[in-house]
Amino acid sequence: MLQLDIREVNNQQELAEMFDQRWLVLRSPLGMERGSERDDRENGACHIIAKGDRTIIGSGRLRELSPELGSISYIAVLPEFQNQGIGTKLMEKLIAQAKEKNFKTVRLMSRINAVKFYKNLGFIEKDNPFDYLGIPHIFMELKTAVETASIQTKPASAG
């Protein structure tokens, strides 16, 4: 059984390794160049990795869109480690981080072939599918804050 460590990136070397792993999973299969796995929102984001045997095998990112809205992106698990629950563990860690940051809602952009995975975590589809990088995607979101309705009680009747 693979010993798995799921946590935030610790240093610049791990961040570079995470970008390599992200590129291998998400961009290389599309024939995209190195560098395409990054965007201008990396700084200030929370980067979570799944590390096994000193190698990053999974990763994901959480960032703030507004004080109550977070965005999860770049969920990537190396193909040989997929379907073993690693993506679920990454998502659970990212959702926990979102709750710690008091995000009431978390949004993501899912490839259509991954919708069931995110639905199993409680995400719901929003809007209509669209193409991104030539691949069908859809926006999904998860409410992380439970709205508490005020509970009214009837006064006990004198009897």
Instruction: From first to last of the 159 residues of the chain, give the pLDDT tens digit.
Output: 578 999 999 999 999 999 999 999 999 888 888 888 988 888 889 999 999 888 999 999 999 999 999 999 999 999 999 999 999 999 999 999 999 999 999 999 999 999 999 999 999 999 899 998 888 999 999 999 765 554 444 555 544
The answer to whether 123 touches 141, Cβ cutoff 8 Å, is: yes
pTM: 0.86
pLDDT for the residue numbered 1: 59
- State how far the Cα of 71 lies from the Cα of 65, in Å rounded to an integer: 6
For the chain, the domains span: 4-143
- State how far the Cα of 55 lies from the Cα of 132, in Å rounded to an integer: 29
- State how far the Cα of 64 lies from the Cα of 28, in Å rounded to an integer: 27
Decide which of 3.20.20.140, 3.30.1490.20, 3.40.50.850, 3.40.630.30 is the CATH code for 4-143. 3.40.630.30
